[in-house]
Amino acid sequence: MTTFNQTQTSAITTLFPSRCRTLCHWILGCCLLLASLGAAAGSLQATVDRNSISPEETFRLTLRYDSQVMMDAPEFSQLQQDFDILNTQRSNQFRSINGQNESWTQWVLTLAPRHEGTLLIPSFELKGAFSEAIEIKVQPGSGKTPSSSQEVFMQTELQPETAYVQQQVLYTIRLFTRVPLTGLNRSELKIDNVQLKQVEETQYRKTVGGVDYGVVEIVYALFPQQSGSINIPATLWEVTAPDHSNRTYDPFGRSSGKRLRLRTSPSTLEVKPKPDSYNGYVWLPADALQLSEEWSGNPERMKAGEPITRRLVLQGTGVLAAQLPPLQPGDVDGLRYYPDQPQSEESLGTSGVSTRKVESYAIVASKPGRYTLPPVVLSWWDNGSGRQRQLTLPAREIEVGAASAARLPATATPEAVTALPAEEHSSADSNLPEAGRPSAHNRSWFYSTLALAFLCLVLGMQWLRARRQLRALQPQKTSPYDQLSRSDADAFKALRIASGKDDLQALRQALQQWAQIWWREQQQQRPVAQRQAMAALPGLCLQSPPLAQSLQQLDAALYGGHGSADFDGKQLMEAVIALRQGNSGTPADEPLPPLYRSH
């Protein structure tokens, strides 16, 4: 068998000497090439600039692959379990020294720890090469109390830490630094079930532990919308501070510095529901509240048919404009009210949110006489003293005189016209001077003026007509007072629709609108002596105890944090229907008890 193989191989070599030699050379070259590629396979190395950091510091991770890589890259997503990847840079580099060529691909990542403890940078893989895992020690922070080694630290303050629903709470964040900062970025503060406004941002200097610090202070006004424990999350601040460990000299003065990531400490705000002792018509917590009035003229010198404007000014601190209720003047027989759109404005400062609301309406008396404007009363909750207070504009007497003579129409009776005899007319004409007699020139001027006046009248009427058509095409803005012109049936229908939905705020508004219309119609049907000078909904609640109970449950669901699940709109509608049918539980002829009890 061996002889046969040798003979056969010799025969093949003899027959195909050139082809066999070429094939052997080709196979040998492939083997050498594969061996050289295996020997030149790149290695993957991982290094960090620091192994021990604080929670607010960042560090750099460098991965170097000793070969040129055009498309591939290590998988960095596994880092996100313990680190935030702030920046990633990639570069391909080549170097030749004394004929020795070297090339590599490098990735530089800027990382920030997500929590304290011993963290692990995992092993990375690229083209069959693996890097070594690296441990990073994140030392615990020093809390709110600064030490002499701290260059930058954060503080937070919550005032007060316990509040009522819708009460203003001031949340302050302070950044202390004793080194110059070249950059500052902060995340947006978001808190669930809280309406917030940034009211102030200031910078100043303060000495802490004998060390002078620059302070950046931001103040937020928080208005919690439901009771219970509300978590205020930590906010992230990124700053750039000088890097004293970098000894590299830059002749151009450029220095990237070191990036610090600072987080505020999470806080908890305890929110209490509206106190049971509060019996005001609207829940209104505020730090301070003031009510005043302004007049466009002297109310003691009013004239019948002539308007005078009354302005009710409500100013508050620690309260939003949307929280201020409408100030409703009581109806007075013989006086008509023409309200204007309420004007509200908010200002922000160190004390939080300050609000000013102005309600204006013109008053017109239909006849002379003496009228009494009812008092304007508003209950509110004093956050400072923790008790209910009351604002009152006392009742005002106004005197309305007769209309002035200039406003009375001048009419002449036929007897006065015919009283003069014909002789007096003729003698009067004869006694006129020559210049006083009408001439042809004066008559032409008179007719020209009359024609011009007629033309102006026609143009004015056309202009008014076009203006009305333009207003009809534009959307009309309606105020709460415009809705008083709606009929009781329309308002009751809107209330019924709102009671079948889960929007308690819309139901509260629909109830308020219906009550205003129903109360006004009810008061107009009473004799003047029996009319009640009070707001609509409180007056109806005094007439109907079931309505008062349903309103109390509605306010508890709105402001007490119970939600719409604990409120039954069916009971509210039954109370309203009973009131409309005259079955309120209080005799119609029985005088109503006083709205505000004396103590």
Coil/strand/helix, residue 563? coil
- d(Cα 112, Cα 84) in Å, to the nearest integer? 5
Query: Looking at residue 480, what is its pLDDT?
Result: 42
Query: Looking at residue 437, what is its pLDDT?
Result: 46
Query: Looking at residue 245, what is its pLDDT?
Result: 58
Instruction: Provide, for the chain, the percentages of residues in helix, strand and coil under a 3-state DSSP scheme, each rounded to the nearest 5.
Output: 30, 35, 35
Map tokens 């931001």 to a residue: 218
Query: Looking at residue 341, what is its pLDDT?
Result: 87
Is 508's pLDDT higher than 80? Answer: yes
- d(Cα 145, Cα 139) in Å, to the nearest integer? 16
Question: Which range among 42-46, 251-255, 539-543, 595-599 has the greatest average pLDDT?
Answer: 42-46
* Tokens (6 digits) for 415: 């007897």
- CA-nearest of 40, 107, 37 to 79 is 107
Length of the chain equals 599
Query: Looking at residue 239, what is its pLDDT?
Result: 86
CB-neighbour burial class of residue 454 (10 A; exposed 0-12, middle 13-18, buried 19+): exposed
Per-residue pLDDT of 229-280, as tens digits, reads: 999 999 988 888 776 655 554 544 445 677 888 888 899 999 999 999 999 8
Per-residue pLDDT of 291-346, as tens digits, reads: 999 998 888 888 888 888 999 999 999 999 999 988 877 788 888 888 888 899 99
CA 104 to chain centre: 53
Question: Which range among 250-259, 286-295, 529-538 has the greatest average pLDDT?
Answer: 286-295
Q: Which residues contact 108 (CB under 8 A, 6 or more apart)?
A: 60, 61, 62, 88, 89, 90, 91
Per-residue pLDDT of 110-129, as tens digits, reads: 888 888 889 999 999 888 88
- d(Cα 557, Cα 555) in Å, to the nearest integer? 5
Q: Where are the alpha helices (DSSP H) in 401-528?
A: 414-418, 422-431, 440-473, 488-499, 504-524
532: left (phi over 0), alpha (psi -120 to 50) or beta: beta
Query: Looking at residue 535, what is its pLDDT?
Result: 60
Map tokens 């990531």 to a residue: 261
- CA-nearest of 328, 293, 296 to 312 is 293
Specify the amino acid at residue 35.
A
Per-residue pLDDT of 449-479, as tens digits, reads: 888 888 888 888 888 877 776 665 554 444 4
CB atoms within 10 A of CB 539: 20
DSSP E strand stretches across 167-277:
169-177, 183-186, 194-208, 211-224, 228-232, 236-241, 258-263, 267-272
Cβ-defined contacts of 57-61 (< 8 Å, 24+):
57/112, 57/258, 57/260, 57/261, 58/86, 58/110, 58/111, 58/112, 58/258, 58/259, 58/260, 58/261, 59/110, 59/111, 59/136, 60/108, 60/109, 60/110, 60/111, 61/108, 61/109, 61/111, 61/121, 61/134
* Tokens (6 digits) for 429: 């004409």
Contact 507, 498 (CB under 8 A): yes
